[in-house]
Chain A
C-alpha cells in the first residue's frame, strides 16, 4: 500500500461529458503529480502541485485542469471528453526536497464510450 488513495477506481462516461478524479496523497507529502497512461503514449506527466500551488505543467490539454486543496488532496477535472481521453490516470505524491521518490496510487481507469 503506497498510502496514495485515488477515487473512483473505474469511470465510464460518454463523449462530451465532464468528470472529476480525486487523489489523497500520503500523509505529510506536499507534492501531488498527475500522470496519464495509455497504450500508445506510455506514462506521461500532466501537472504537479506543491502545497496548493501549481509547480509544473506537462502535456496537459486545455480541457483538463487540476487543483490542490488546503488539506492537500487534489482533483483532476477532465471536460468535453473525447474517445482518445480513455486511459489510466495516476496520482503520485512525494515529500519535500530534491530527488524525493514518488509514490503512486492505483489509478482511475477512464473509459469513454
Chain B
C-alpha cells in the first residue's frame, strides 16, 4: 500500500514567518501534486512536479521533488493570512495506466495576522 505522510500535521504561525511542509513516502511516484483546500471547497491545484530534484517556485511558495521521487517539500516565505488552509500532497503512479492520486495526510496551516 502506498502511503504519503505529511508533517507537521498542524501549524499555527504569525504573519511574516517562514515554514516548510514535508511529504514523505517509501514509494516512487511518477509525479507529485500539491493542493490547497479551504473549508467548503475542493482542493485547488498549486503545482505539479515530475522530475526528480525539480524545484518550482510560485511567488512565495517553493516546491521541491526529491531526487528519488519519493518525497517532496513545500516552503512558504513570509506567510500571509491568505495562505491559511489545508495543504495536501498527492502522488500519481502510472502503473496500470491510471493517474489516480494517493493523497497525503494533510497539513493544516493557520497564519495569524
Contact = CB atoms under 8 A, between A and B. Distances in A.
B44 interface: yes
16 contacts: A33-B100, A33-B101, A42-B104, A43-B43, A43-B101, A56-B96, A90-B42, A90-B43, A98-B30, A98-B99, A99-B31, A102-B45, A102-B99, A103-B45, A104-B44, A104-B45
A84 B9 CA distance: 24
Interface of A: 2, 4, 31, 33, 35, 42-45, 48, 55-56, 58, 90, 92, 94, 98-107
Contacts, number: 70
Nearest to B43: A104
A101 B90 CA distance: 10
Interface residues of B, number: 27
Nearest to B95: A56
B105 interface: yes
A94 B44 contact: no
A103 B48 CA distance: 12
Contacts of A103: 45
Given A103-B45, A106-B42, A55 B103 contact: no
